[in-house]
Structure formats: structure tokens, C-alpha cells
Amino acid sequence: MSPLHAFTAARSASVRSKFHPARTPLTVVSTPGPLEPAAWQTDLALDVEARDAIVVALCERSSEVAESRVNLRFPTVRRVRYLHRLDLLAGYYSFLVTSNGATYAYPLDVPASRSSALLRAAGREAPFEFDGRHLVPSPNGSQVILVPPRPSAASWVIRRGFDTAWKATTPAAPITAVSLPVEYLHPESYTLEAAAGSDSHTLALTLGPSSGAAPPVISSNANLSRAARLAFLGHQHLLRGPLDPARRLLEAAGPASVAAAIELSRFHALQQNYDAARARLRPLLARDRSNFDALSVPAFIEAGMQDYPVAANLYRRALAQLPTY
């Protein structure tokens, strides 16, 4: 297009827009994993509007690492506090939450070395346990959790302006929590300072009557078995490589774990040891021929052997087992 035409031709206005609703903040607490030195127990919390279901997906680069769905039966849309626990290798992920027809994406950075966090929480019945305490992250909670980089004694100070309103200390622990002295402090704004070793945090506090009842809590992966957690860590190692850590974790999960057996069959298939992969799958498929993951491995094997028509047919059979919502 010539400059003359570009500046003299009649133009028609065309405006296209799309409304993106504001997403609620995602609270992340990472603590050393109990099963694998290279993994972190990562607890996620956020408030969402939901009625029928909450679907979450965890992605790393172009690979989906995990997906889960919680089906609900609320008669109308309501606000809930959603909690999700994952054992994750260090890395940069995307955490996608779909609820009430909207999808929200959150960046999730799991550091290679231990990080620290300070957050407010409510002491109530909850599936997640922190150092013997069952707590739910809550912006209006009566307790505060400190996760230091390493177990250290902590000092706590609440200030009103430049004045000190309250002080306390707690012994060294991987995770420490204190109850806010709400019975001693007037309802107004304060600043909480927490220090453990060379690490320190500040948190703005607004004390006073809470606005309405706390939302109901819905959790996922709160009480997974040791075998299920090991199988998921092995799955992550298979996606990344090298494969030896994956095999170690999957074998530690034990022979009773279906998820670990499927991942071990993938391990053998990736090493082109197809007979061993089939041997792992044979008893699983004899018991259940509707398992998508178990059915997809034979398709991968046939594709590796370049028998593409058979592989395509097996993939279609596997995809037919996926639920439709």
C-alpha cells in the first residue's frame, strides 16, 4: 500500500473487545517434600465462583503434567475456597483453573532452593496439615503461618505506626504459626513483622469484625497415599528425564499401585523395551479395559514399532474411554 493511499483512503472504525473478569489471588505455600529431596510439597489456595465443577490443569511448557476435576452439586453459583496439594519438582508451571465458564491462568514458580512465605490463616477443620496444625489460608484468619527458608526460631512484632503493640517468639520449626492477639488489640490497621534467621517478612493486618461467613472449603489431593504421591513424582521425571529417578520412585510405590505400574510400562516403552512394557500392562488390562492411561501405552508401543494403523486404532479406543461432561 502506498503512503498516499494509506493516509487519504476513507477508513471505517472497528472496535473489538473482550471482558476479562478479575481473578482472585492464588496463595502458594511450598515446603520440603516428605518423599523426594528434589520435590516440594506445594499447597495452593484460592477463592472461586462455582456451581457444577472446578477443573484444574498443571502445565509445564507445552506438556500437561496433571489434570483433575471436582464435581459439585450446588443449586446456584456460590463462592468457595479451593485447596489443592501437589508434590512438584522445581520448575516454572502454569496453573489453570476453570470454574463457572471462566478459565484463569496463574504462573507457578517452584524454586530449586527453599523459599519463605508469610500468610494469614484460619484455624478450622481442614484437610491440609501444617506441622501438626490443620489450617486454611484466609485473609481474615486469626492465625499467621511463617515458612522460613530453614527451621529457625522466629520473632513476631505487631506495630501500629511506629508503636509496638505486641511481641512474641516461637521455637525453631519447619513451619511455625501464632495466634493473633485479637482480644488485646483494637480493631484497626497494623503491620506484622516476622523474622526467622536472616529472613524477614511484613504483612498488613486489618483487625475487626469479619465480613460475612467464611466460604466452604473444597480440597483436592489432600489425603493421597504414599504410593500415589510417588507415582506422580515418577510421572514428572518421565516427562523431563533422565529416566533413572523415575524408575526408582515408581518401584518404591509398590506393586499394588496401578498408577505406578502404568508409569513403569511407559518407562520401559521409552527405552524401547516393549516386551517388558507389555508385561507390566497385561494384568492391568485383564482387570480393567477402560483405563485411558493403560490403553494409551500399547498405542505408543505400536507407534514406536511403526505400525501406525494399529497405533491409531488403539489411540481411538483409549480416547473413547475419556468421560464427557
- Write down the pLDDT at residue 314: 93
pLDDT at 210: 65
**Structural domains present in the chain:** 27-220 (no CATH), 226-319 (1.25.40.10)
pLDDT computed for residue 308 by the predictor: 93
Rounded Cα–Cα distance for residues 35 and 53 (Å):
30
pLDDT, tens digit only, all 325 positions of the chain: 444 444 455 556 555 555 555 678 898 888 888 888 889 889 899 999 999 999 999 999 888 999 999 999 899 999 999 999 999 999 999 999 999 989 999 999 998 877 777 777 776 556 566 666 677 777 778 888 888 888 889 999 999 988 999 999 999 988 888 888 888 888 889 999 999 888 889 999 888 776 667 788 888 887 789 999 999 999 999 999 889 999 999 999 998 999 999 999 999 999 999 999 999 999 999 999 899 999 999 999 999 999 999 999 999 999 999 887 6
Gap between the Cα atoms of 225 and 96, Å rounded: 24
How deeply is 266 buried, as exposed, middle or buried, from its count of CB atoms within 10 A (0-12, 13-18, 19+)? buried
Could you give the CA distance from residue 138 to residue 216 in angstroms, rounded to a whole number? 12
Distant-in-sequence, close-in-space partners of 69: CB < 8 Å, separation ≥ 6 = 53, 54, 55, 56, 325
How far is the CA of 322 from the CAs of 118, 213, 318, in angstroms?
A: 40, 38, 7
Of the candidates 82, 81, 83, the one whose C-alpha atom is nearest the C-alpha of residue 43 is: 83
pLDDT at 12: 60
Q: Which residues pair with 250 in a beta bridge?
A: none
- Please say whether the beta carbons of 26 and 35 come within 8 A: no
pTM above 0.75, yes or no: yes
Identify the bridge partners of residue 59 per DSSP, sorted by sequence position: 64, 94
Question: For residue 42, what is the DSSP state?
Answer: E
Name which of 237, 270, 218, 244 is nearest 87 in CA terms.
237
Q: What is the DSSP string of 163-229?
A: EEEEEEEEEEESSEEEE--TTTS-SSEEEEEEEETTEEEEEEEE-S--SSPPPPEEEESTT--HHHH
For the chain, the distance separating the N- and C-terminal CA atoms, rounded to the nearest angstrom, is 50
| Cβ 282 vs Cβ 268: under 8 Å | no
